[in-house]
Structures are given as C-alpha cells and as structure tokens.
A and B are shown apart, each in its own frame.
Chain A
C-alpha cells in the first residue's frame, strides 16, 4: 500500500527536492504541495493524505497552527504530520509536537533518514527519533515542580509502558519486553493517551518528560 504525502514548505526549492527524493520511492506518492500553512490545510482537505511534511516556519499561517488545523479538521482520519525544520534547537518544533505533530525532521537530513522518518510516522506505532524528542523536551519544555494530576491516575503498568514508549519501542517490542500480548499493550497505550489527554505517542512522551515521569 502506498503512503500518500503532502509537502508544505514556502520554498519551492525544498518542495521540488523533497518531491524528487520521495517520489522516486515505489511505496511513496506525493499527492499535493502547499506554499503556506493555509494552503496546506486546504490541500490536505482535498487530497486526504497519510502524511503531511510540514515546514514549521511559513508565512501567514505557520506550521504549528497549520498542524493544529489539519488535525482538528481531519478528526479520526486526520493525516500524521511530520514537521520539517532548519534547526533542531528550535522551540517552534516543540510547539508543533505539542500541537500534535507525530515527529520532526531536519531539512539537512540524509535521504535515508528522510525516508525512514516518513515510513515510521505513517506506521504510527513507534516514536520517531526518541533521543531528539527527549533532548527537545528537556531543553525547551517547562519543568513542572509537581506531578500533574493525570500522573496519579496512571497504573504502574501504564507508567512502565509510557517509559518504554519514550525509548522508541514499538507496541510489539513493548509486548515482548513485558511478556504480555500485543493487544494488551495496545490497550495500555490507549489508556495512557486517554489519561494524559494526548492524541499520539509523541505528545504523550513529551508530556511524560515535562512531568519528570521518565527520569531526568
């Protein structure tokens, strides 16, 4: 099954290069391009892609707000958003992840990394670049003095699952680690997302870092 992609970046050069790299892969298909955040929202509505590659800084509606709108408009069937950034050390990126982006990618990344990121984000059962997410959350996130109220509602098992999610394990790997069935892990993950009030693994893991639940 091909992964359908939309590219949103205000620089044409970036879009053409991304299209050339991604379009050459048999399992990927670029179905639309957008030069602004507002355009990205309407292109996504028209093409219903699986993944949006979203530049974090764009004129008018930026990548953060465009991510919010795309996810809000799509509801359950919303695409996954992969945020593109020039610099890793950018608080906009964390804001985009909080807004619901599934992962982020440096524009200077090598082609293999880019393809890996798109495929991981499309599969959605594992965290993209766990160490980068950790660094970003610790460098830019607010440090909370006390555990948030939702932390007390997590069971021990759910805390354990959340910790393993943060290390970048897939559901199957977590199941193997805890010697339980994949379906059990899936329900734990669902419970974690519900209790943390987050929509995906990335958001849940960032919330965990900011709450100090995953160790220093």
Chain B
C-alpha cells in the first residue's frame, strides 16, 4: 500500500469520525421510534440512520465557513494539487451547494469505510485463527466448527482484508477525483486568483526595477569612481590626490544613500511577502526594534511619548510605523551623525509624529532619489486624512505629521492588498 493510499484511507476515516455526531443524533431518534435496542441486531435500522444522517450533513455544510476545513483536509490527505482547490469560504449558492455535495460524499464514503475499518480486521483475525481457536458456545456468529469449511475460513479472512483495502483505495480515489470538481475554485475565484498573482508579480517587477535603478546604478558608479581614484593615485601626485579625495567622498555619499534606498526597497519586499500570516509591523510592537536598528546604524535617537500598545487603531498604528520608519531613514540618510528627536503625541483628534534633527552645516544636496521617502510619508498621511510638512524650522530640520484617529481605513491599491 502506497503512502498516498494510506493518506486517502486516513482521510476517509476522518470523514467517518465527522459523520459520528450526525449518526448518533439521527440514531437516537430512529432507535426510539423503531423500538430496537441497538444497531448490531438490526441492520435495516443502521441503513436508515445512515441514509437520514446525510441530508443533515448537507444542510449544515451549506454554511460558507464549511469549505476551508474541507479544503485543508483534502489538500493534505487526498493528494489533490493545491492549485486545483479553492481558497476561502464558499460564496454564492453554487459554491455552497458544491461544498455540501463534497461533505455528503466525504462523510458518506468515510462512514462506510470507517465502519468497515473498525469491523473487518477483528472478524478477519477470528477467521484466520478459526482452525486453532474455537469460539465458545455463546458466540453470536454462525461459524463452522468442523469439516473443510473450517480450513477455508482463514482464506475467507484474507479475502475480507483484501476487500477492505480495495474498497478503501477505491473510495479514496473517488474522493481525490471529486475534490477538484466540488472544492475547486469557481470561474470568479479563478479570475480573482489570477488577478492576485498578477498584482504580486507587479510588486516583484517593481522591486526588481527599483533595485536595478537605485542599487545597481549606485554600485556601478562607486566601482567606476574607485577605479578612477586608484588610477589617478598612481599618476602625477597633486592632481591625482585631489581627484581621489573627491572620488572617496562621492563613494561615501553614494554608498550611504544607497543603503537607505535598499532599506526602503527591502521594506516593501518584506511587506509584500507571500506569507499573508505576517501582518505589517505596527508602532505599538515594533517601535523598540526599529529604534534599535536606527541606533545601531549610528544615529542617536531620543524618544518622547510612546503611545501605549492598543490605543491606536491597527491601520493607523501600521501607517504611523511606516511614517516613523521613513522619517528616521531620511534623517539617517541626510545627517548620519546628528542626534534625532522623535516625538509621538496622542492628541484629542489623533496622533502627532515629529522627527527633528539639527540642520547640518552644509545643506544636503538635492541628490537624485532624495525626498522620495518623504513623498511617501506625505502620501500616506494624505490618504489617512492627515497632513505632513517637512523642512527647516529654527535651527532644525523638522518632519511634522498629524494623523486623525477617526480616519476610515484607506482602500489600498492593488499591489498592496494582503
């Protein structure tokens, strides 16, 4: 018996177990009405109970939430390819009916196979042992006690076991065939799945482009500058040294800016990762780790007023985290050594975020790529119904963001869903 057949058998036994509550419920009524003591002595009562239990199964399986557990079981145990089964609850009459059909089929076949799995092996063992072990006088079974029939009994036992395995394998195969038909995605779900994949692909392509544009170009420029610097250091001294100095500062600046951009790009990669189980980080839980990372990068950050966890609504919490992340990354990019003050303040109408940093003696050059992060901050704040301003204020460079608490969750763009 292959592992696949064994898993399908187990799937059927699970179906039998799921049938039990229905069976007992109907059975209690049937036994009382027919006035029979138990199923062992009355096969028709058994068949009636089984038949009446299945419609009950169908009715309860019409609940939309019935589909995900069935899909999970079928994926794990029937060997159906993951793509051929639908994700999520069944929506619409057709999908719910298909799910109900699946439950009837699974629990029906499962009930038969599970019952046989319980009953057949002990009886087969009894038949196998019959030539040497005689049943006592009170045995309920009409078994031969002498003659050639006694020696055919072990063969009958083996045949019973083989029949059980055959029925289980057959029923398992039926379920594996039926799973894509009854639990497969509807045309609408197929379309949605394709759209989701396209969106994921778009995010991946965008990331590839961003890495290409920012990191690839910057590293090339760095390599080229270093090449030039090394060659000129070997040449006429004064001129070469002057260029080498310029090249080194260009390399330094580019490397620093690029690491910031890489951080942002990889941030998107983490957010849009294929695992839907990992939620986007929120301020309440992730702020300490963010501060640790920023400090490890050589930035002295002072924090005032951390909002206690659970106070902010989750969407606001996540957006606030990203805004703080961008603000700190921006500060790190433009003046790596300067101290940063991060102030988080819960106001009557929402949350106020301020990232302040003394202006560097030489104003930062408006280099390519700079300011994209801040544009993102402004965009996020605007979507939440808040506002963002950034620029020199006194001797400091200040980013001020206010986010209203009452803001409705923002409909996300396609590539950010999940």
Interface residues of A (CB under 8 A from B): 11, 13-14, 16-18, 20-21, 24, 86-87, 106-108, 110-111
Choose among B225, B232, B250 the residue that contacts A24 (Cβ–Cβ < 8 A): B232
In the bound complex, do residue B228 and residue A17 qualify as a contact, i.e. CB atoms below 8 Å apart?
A: yes
Choose among A13, A17, A87, A106 the residue that contacts B212 (Cβ–Cβ < 8 A): A87
Q: Tell me the bound Cα distance from A20 to B229 in angstroms.
A: 8
Choose among A17, A86, A106 the residue that contacts B247 (Cβ–Cβ < 8 A): A17
Choose among A21, A86, A108 the residue that contacts B228 (Cβ–Cβ < 8 A): A21
Which residues in A have their C-beta under 8 angstroms from that of B217? 11, 86
Which residues in A have their C-beta under 8 angstroms from that of B232? 20, 24
Q: Mark B164-205 against chain A: 1 for CB-CB distance below 8 A, else 0.
A: 000000000000000000000000000000000000000000
In the bound complex, do residue A13 and residue B250 qualify as a contact, i.e. CB atoms below 8 Å apart?
A: yes
- B211-253 interface with A by 8 A CB criterion: 212, 216-217, 219-221, 223-225, 227-229, 231-232, 235, 243, 246-247, 250
Least CB distance, B257 to chain A, in whole angstroms: 11
Least CB distance, A76 to chain B, in whole angstroms: 33
Q: Tell me the bound Cα distance from A18 to B231 in angstroms.
A: 11
In the bound complex, do residue A86 and residue B220 qualify as a contact, i.e. CB atoms below 8 Å apart?
A: yes
Query: Which 4 residue pairs across A and B have the least CB separation, nearest first?
Result: A107-B220, A20-B228, A17-B228, A17-B224
Which residues in A have their C-beta under 8 angstroms from that of B228? 16-18, 20-21, 111
Number of interface residues of B (CB under 8 A): 21
Interface residues of B (CB under 8 A from A): 212, 216-217, 219-221, 223-225, 227-229, 231-232, 235, 243, 246-247, 250, 254, 368
With contacts A13-B221, A13-B250 taken as known, whether A110 is within 8 angstroms of B227 at the C-beta atoms is yes
Which residues in B have their C-beta under 8 angstroms from that of A17? 221, 224-225, 227-228, 247
Choose among B221, B235, B246 the residue that contacts A14 (Cβ–Cβ < 8 A): B221
Which residues in A have their C-beta under 8 angstroms from that of B243? 20
With contacts A13-B254, A17-B228, A111-B231 taken as known, whether A86 is within 8 angstroms of B212 at the C-beta atoms is yes
With contacts A24-B231, A108-B219 taken as known, whether A14 is within 8 angstroms of B224 at the C-beta atoms is yes
Q: Tell me the bound Cα distance from A17 to B228 in angstroms.
A: 5
Which residues in B have their C-beta under 8 angstroms from that of A108? 219-220, 223-224
Choose among B216, B225, B235 the residue that contacts A13 (Cβ–Cβ < 8 A): B225
Least CB distance, A22 to chain B, in whole angstroms: 9
In the bound complex, do residue A14 and residue B220 qualify as a contact, i.e. CB atoms below 8 Å apart?
A: yes
Residue of B nearest to A9 (CB): B221
Which residues in B have their C-beta under 8 angstroms from that of A14? 220-221, 224
In the bound complex, do residue A107 and residue B224 qualify as a contact, i.e. CB atoms below 8 Å apart?
A: yes
Q: Tell me the bound Cα distance from A20 to B216 in angstroms.
A: 21
Q: Tell me the bound Cα distance from A78 to B235 in angstroms.
A: 33
Least CB distance, B174 to chain A, in whole angstroms: 46
Which residues in A have their C-beta under 8 angstroms from that of B221? 11, 13-14, 17, 107
Which residues in B have their C-beta under 8 angstroms from that of A24? 231-232, 235
Q: Tell me the bound Cα distance from A86 to B220 in angstroms.
A: 6
Least CB distance, B310 to chain A, in whole angstroms: 47
Which residues in A have their C-beta under 8 angstroms from that of B227? 17, 21, 110-111
Most B Cβ at <10 Å: residue of A11, A20, A108: A20
Which residues in B have their C-beta under 8 angstroms from that of A11? 217, 221, 368
Which residues in B have their C-beta under 8 angstroms from that of A106? 220
Least CB distance, B123 to chain A, in whole angstroms: 67
Which residues in B have their C-beta under 8 angstroms from that of A107? 220-221, 223-224
Which residues in A have their C-beta under 8 angstroms from that of B216? 86-87
Residue of A nearest to B247 (CB): A17
Least CB distance, B113 to chain A, in whole angstroms: 54
Q: Tell me the bound Cα distance from A173 to B25 in angstroms.
A: 94
Q: Tell me the bound Cα distance from A111 to B229 in angstroms.
A: 11
Least CB distance, B210 to chain A, in whole angstroms: 13
Least CB distance, A62 to chain B, in whole angstroms: 13
Least CB distance, A87 to chain B, in whole angstroms: 6
Most B Cβ at <10 Å: residue of A16, A87, A106, A110: A16
Least CB distance, B365 to chain A, in whole angstroms: 10
Least CB distance, A9 to chain B, in whole angstroms: 9
Least CB distance, B197 to chain A, in whole angstroms: 23
Most A Cβ at <10 Å: residue of B219, B227, B235: B227
Least CB distance, A82 to chain B, in whole angstroms: 14
Q: Tell me the bound Cα distance from A13 to B235 in angstroms.
A: 20
Known: A24-B231, A107-B220, A108-B224. 7 other contacts (CB 8 A): A13-B250, A17-B225, A18-B228, A20-B231, A21-B227, A110-B227, A111-B227
Least CB distance, B351 to chain A, in whole angstroms: 38
Which residues in B have their C-beta under 8 angstroms from that of A20? 228-229, 231-232, 243, 247
Residue of A nearest to B232 (CB): A20
Residue of A nearest to B221 (CB): A13
Most B Cβ at <10 Å: residue of A11, A17, A20: A17
Q: Tell me the bound Cα distance from A11 to B212 in angstroms.
A: 15
Least CB distance, A130 to chain B, in whole angstroms: 23
In the bound complex, do residue A21 and residue B212 qualify as a contact, i.e. CB atoms below 8 Å apart?
A: no
Residue of B nearest to A20 (CB): B228
